């Protein structure tokens, strides 16, 4: 459908992992010029404060395990605001193309004739690796990185993809896997991953309050279960995790403060 010249536009923007200084310049400019801002629950006040005082701000929720606005409602709200001629920013945590439903939202808007732009952001796995001092790839240890979600829409463990993730030369970044780590570890071990594979659980990656737990693929779920990690958690599994200064190879993993 052709775009209506009187209609506003929607930018689907990645806010990164939470710290304002990890925003891209393009994301910052989008926020600073927004007339309507629809933001996910994980976007912090530091970033929201960058929007103009007159900007209409609406939280859409979108946090695992919490009540949130239905996707159809978000779609219709973006369309309604764009039809008013506004510059709309749909602000998502991390990168909108990594488990951010950007494809669904862009397709809906395009079908309605709304001009859209996707602005990428730093995803949690990249922020975690930088913050805690380890690479996602490394010669002789990790030739590839897999970004994966551990759960389906109803919270059950995903059924596919475990064979590829079981490759010992793959760094696995597992999103939305905190409550399914034990089951995910069993699947990975069954597909060839050594139980002693280094593993990290990182809460609030990229933020000053980030926390990390270290252990092995086999042990980390037990340690994580005993901690109160209420923020978003990304799991990093692979030999490169042992290169983190926070990695403790003991049988009982230790917590480490953010660097």
DSSP string computed for 112-144 = TT-EEEEE----HHHHHHHHTT--S-BTTTBSE
What is the reported pLDDT for 226? 86
Is pLDDT at 244 greater than 60 in this prediction?
Answer: yes
Task: Report whether 206 contacts 121 (CB < 8 A).
Answer: no
Which element (helix H / strand E) includes 237?
strand 233-237
Torsion angle in degrees (nearest 10) through CA of 172, 175, 177, 181: 20
Which element (helix H / strand E) includes 108?
helix 102-111
Range of 65's domain?
9-119
Task: Report the catalytic residues.
Answer: 40, 62, 176
Residue 76 tokens, joined = 């219709």
Distance CA 163, CA 178 (A): 20
What is the reported pLDDT for 64? 57
What is the reported pLDDT for 254? 39
Better-scored residue on pLDDT, 162 or 114: 114
Question: 22 with 79, same domain?
Answer: yes
Question: 84 with 153, same domain?
Answer: no
Is pLDDT at 92 greater than 80 in this prediction?
Answer: yes
Mean pLDDT, range 167-184, rounded to an integer? 92
The residue out of 119, 144, 176 marking a domain boundary is 119
What is the reported pLDDT for 68? 74
3-class DSSP assignment, residue 167: coil
3-class DSSP assignment, residue 23: coil
What is the reported pLDDT for 161? 83
Question: 105 with 163, same domain?
Answer: no
**Domain tally, the chain:** 2
Mean pLDDT, range 139-165, rounded to an integer? 85
Question: 139 with 97, same domain?
Answer: no
Tell me which residue of 141, 211, 136 sits closest to 174, measured CA to CA.
136
What is the reported pLDDT for 176? 87
Per-residue pLDDT band for 153 (boundaries 50, 70, 90) equals low
| Pairing relationship of beta strands 211-216 and 170-175 according to DSSP bridges | unpaired
Q: Is residue 3 part of a domain?
A: no
Is pLDDT at 111 greater than 60 in this prediction?
Answer: yes
pLDDT digits (tens, 9 = 90+) for 1-38: 555 557 899 999 999 999 999 999 999 999 999 999 99
User: What's the CATH code of the domain at 45?
Assistant: 3.40.1010.10
Mean pLDDT of the chain: 90
């Amino acid at each position: 459908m052709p775009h209506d010249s009187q209609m506003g536009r929607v930018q689907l923007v990645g806010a990164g992992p939470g710290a304002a200084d990890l925003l891209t310049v393009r994301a910052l400019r989008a926020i600073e010029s927004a007339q309507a801002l629809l933001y996910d629950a994980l976007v912090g006040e530091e970033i929201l404060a960058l929007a103009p005082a007159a900007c209409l701000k609406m939280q859409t929720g979108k946090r695992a395990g919490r009540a949130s606005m239905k996707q159809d409602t978000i779609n219709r709200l973006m369309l309604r605001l764009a039809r008013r001629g506004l510059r709309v920013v749909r602000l998502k945590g991390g990168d909108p193309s990594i488990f951010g439903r950007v494809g669904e939202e862009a397709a809906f808007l395009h079908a309605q004739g709304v001009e859209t732009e996707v602005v990428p952001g730093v995803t949690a796995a990249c922020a975690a690796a930088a913050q805690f001092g380890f690479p996602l790839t490394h010669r002789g240890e990790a030739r590839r990185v897999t970004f994966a979600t551990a759960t389906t829409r109803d919270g059950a463990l995903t059924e596919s993809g475990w064979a590829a993730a079981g490759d010992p030369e793959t760094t696995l970044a597992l999103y939305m896997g905190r409550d399914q780590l034990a089951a995910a570890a069993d699947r990975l071990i069954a597909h060839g991953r050594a139980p002693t594979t280094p593993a990290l659980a990182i809460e609030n990656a990229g933020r000053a309050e980030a926390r990390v737990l270290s252990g092995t693929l086999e042990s980390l779920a037990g340690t994580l279960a005993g901690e109160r990690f209420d923020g978003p958690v990304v799991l990093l599994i692979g030999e490169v995790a042992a290169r983190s200064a926070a990695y403790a190879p003991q049988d009982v993993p230790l917590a480490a403060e953010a660097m």
